[in-house]
Amino acid sequence: MQDYVLAPSILSADFKELGQDIRTTEAAGASWLHVDVMDGLFVPSISFGMPVIKSIRSVSKIYFDVHLMIEKPERYLEEFVKCGADGITFHLEATEEPLECIDSIHKLGRDAGISINPETPVDTITDEMLKKVELVLIMTVHPGFGGQKYIDECTQKIKAIRERIDGLGSSARLEVDGGINKDTIGTALGAGADTFVIGSSVFIGGTEENTKYFVKALRDYKITA
Ligand code: DX5
Ligand code: ZN
């Protein structure tokens, strides 16, 4: 039976209480933490980088799912591993060397993920990539900010990638990111996603209760699926 993973995105956490917010969500049952790195070039916004990740690494052993929204991610893969990433996902729009990036992440002993923006066609992801990676991240908003609305047109892309992952017999996780909340998580689940990045709907208005809600929702879905 498939396992579903909740990956709270700390982009919406309270940064003056970041360590506590991470402990709260971990204690409430989250098994991953989604760490959004933005460079102000690939996306309009700048979030945080290595020193912050290194610092929060010391408060938790939770799986760090690092989402690089940066140009030429190949420049920094080793540094993100050194500061504590367990998995590194980069954008296919951001590099001309996607296969090399995947191989580099593997050589560094970490899980490799690839991501595409809402306007990027799913066939940008080749079968060769799908066979190699541990994770595919379908963006369901335009990356750069938390709290945006789920883009319905992306549901079809989740379905298409689910079919290809299954068709290839790949064990890659299929993650969705952006606008996932109580109303939209069912749509993404039904389309075949198994890993759910949730920022504002976890960290705004009661982190513990929100985390518990989504952990339970995914557990219940697993039982009935
Ligand atoms: C957006 C980031 C997301 C963001 C999601 O560019 O990649 O991880 O934190 O936030 P919500 O869940 O609020 O849409
Ligand atoms: Zn993200």
84 Cβ below 6 A of ligand 1: no
200 Cβ below 6 A of ligand 1: yes
Q: Which residues contact 218 (CB under 8 A, 6 or more apart)?
A: 4, 5, 6, 189, 196
| CA 78 – CA 82 distance, rounded (Å) | 6
45 Cβ below 6 A of ligand 1: no
| CA 132 – CA 109 distance, rounded (Å) | 14
pLDDT value for 2: 66
Partner residues linked to 64 by β-bridges:
33
Q: pLDDT 10s digit of each residue in the chain, 225 long?
A: 569 999 999 999 999 999 999 999 999 999 999 999 999 999 999 999 999 999 999 999 999 999 999 999 999 999 999 999 999 999 999 999 999 999 999 999 999 999 999 999 999 999 999 999 999 999 999 999 999 999 999 999 999 999 999 999 999 999 999 999 999 999 999 999 999 999 999 999 999 999 999 999 999 988 777
Domain that holds residue 127: 5-224
Query: What proportions of the chain, in percent to the nearest 5, are helix, strand and coil?
Result: 45, 20, 35
| CA 104 – CA 81 distance, rounded (Å) | 11
Task: Please identify every residue annotated as catalytic.
Answer: 36, 177
d(CA 198, ligand 1 centre) in Å? 7
Q: What is the CATH number of the domain that holds 123?
A: 3.20.20.70
- Amino acid sitting at position 10: I
Ion ligand 2, residue ranges at CB < 5 A: 36, 67, 177
Q: Which residues contact 133 (CB under 8 A, 6 or more apart)?
A: 102, 112, 113, 114, 172
Ligand 1 atom with minimal separation from the 147 CA:
13
d(CA 145, ligand 1 centre) in Å? 6
Q: How many structural domains does the chain have?
A: 1
